[in-house]
Homo-oligomer: A and B are copies of this chain.
Amino acid sequence: MQKLINDPDNYVDEMVDGMVSAYPERLTRVDDTKVLTRDSLIDGKVGIVTGGGSGHEPTHAGYIGDGMLDGAAAGEVFTSPTADELDTLAQACDTGEGVLCVVKNYEGDVMNFDTAAEMAEIEDVTVEQIVVDDDVAVEDSLYTSGRRGVCGTIFVHKAVGAKAAAGGSLEEVAAVGEKVIDNVGTMGMALTSCVTPAKGEETFDLGEDEIELGIGIHGEPGTERTDQLSAEEVGTHLTENVLDDLDPAAGTEVAVIVNGMGGTPLSELFIVNNAVQSTLEAHELDTWETMVGDYMTSLDMRGCSVTVCTVDDELKELFAAPADTPALTRAGDDE
């Protein structure tokens, strides 16, 4: 499988450079790290940071900017950043008001963020962590790692970013993050595996007529392999599963992401969206906003995920608030 790369070992390093050279006025790289921060911090604002393995672009650093993140740490492809990088990140984004880390639930990320928080507190930086676990495909229990954090994280970034921009305290900002986490669910599927730069071939083999349901964003196989489904069946199945989990009352307003996994033509996502919307309608839900595109990817995987978040006035205001980042912009006046 061909890729537009140089040395696979330098993949993340070069990507981070490429982001900075694309947006030199927006992004700054902390020397000798893969940590990116916004050009200049806003005094008195709670710092919002995140991080995780690379290969999910535009996640994470694509959401750095006004109204969303102050910084992000890039790990190796699909590998949590190391604790010292996360510590650097937290310290770099603190203006004295504390820092909120948005973590996608997985022990690797959680453990490294935990260690980083301990390291940062030694330097008198207050760090709060919220853990997103929106993947409804994964069985949740006290005895397991719980559910993965996937594309619902975008809604979390948007809400906490807006709250912090509006002057919210660390506690308040964390609280709106938790609110989104409580109200969001996602499920994904893949037509093909992705190809990591290191391995250079597909992570899992899929027959010509097979698909994977319940995949995450790390090229891991899903929870179920089935025969090929039509776009309509896929859209319906994913949405039904998410709604099953969220169980929103009829009449509830929802925000939706039909997310591409990196190798899916946008046209196909729009075709899937039809089924997503009719399923929502069938449940008498009211779509307040839909986003269709590549928001959290798995390299070049073909496939999609559907995220649904129930919204009230507070979340609508936060989601609609202005944002100006490479990957997501909200004018903030006409919604």
Contact = CB atoms under 8 A, between A and B. Distances in A.
Interface of A: 2-6, 11, 14-19, 21-23, 54-55, 57-58, 62, 66, 191-192, 208-209, 211, 228, 230-232, 234, 258, 262-274, 277, 290-294, 297, 299-300, 302-304, 322, 324, 326, 329-331, 334
Contacts of A292: 18-19, 22, 326
A65 B55 CA distance: 31
Contact of A191 (B2, B21, B266): B2
Contacts of A191: 2-4
Given A6-B232, A11-B271, A267-B299, 7 more contacts: A2-B208, A5-B230, A5-B271, A17-B270, A18-B273, A66-B334, A262-B266
Given A4-B268, A15-B267, A273-B22, A302 B300 contact: yes
Contact of A274 (B21, B230, B274): B21
Contacts of A265: 55, 57, 262-263, 297, 299-300
A280 to B, nearest CB: 10
From A57, A208, A268, A294, name the one whose CB has the most chain B CB atoms within 10 angstroms.
A268
Given A266-B57, A329-B331, A274 B18 contact: yes
From A2, A23, A265, A292, name the one whose CB has the most chain B CB atoms within 10 angstroms.
A265
B271 A14 contact: yes
Nearest to A331: B324
B299 A3 contact: no
From A55, A209, A274, name the one whose CB has the most chain B CB atoms within 10 angstroms.
A274
Nearest to A18: B270
Contact of A17 (B209, B263, B274, B334): B274
Nearest to A209: B2
Contact of A294 (B4, B14, B266, B330): B266
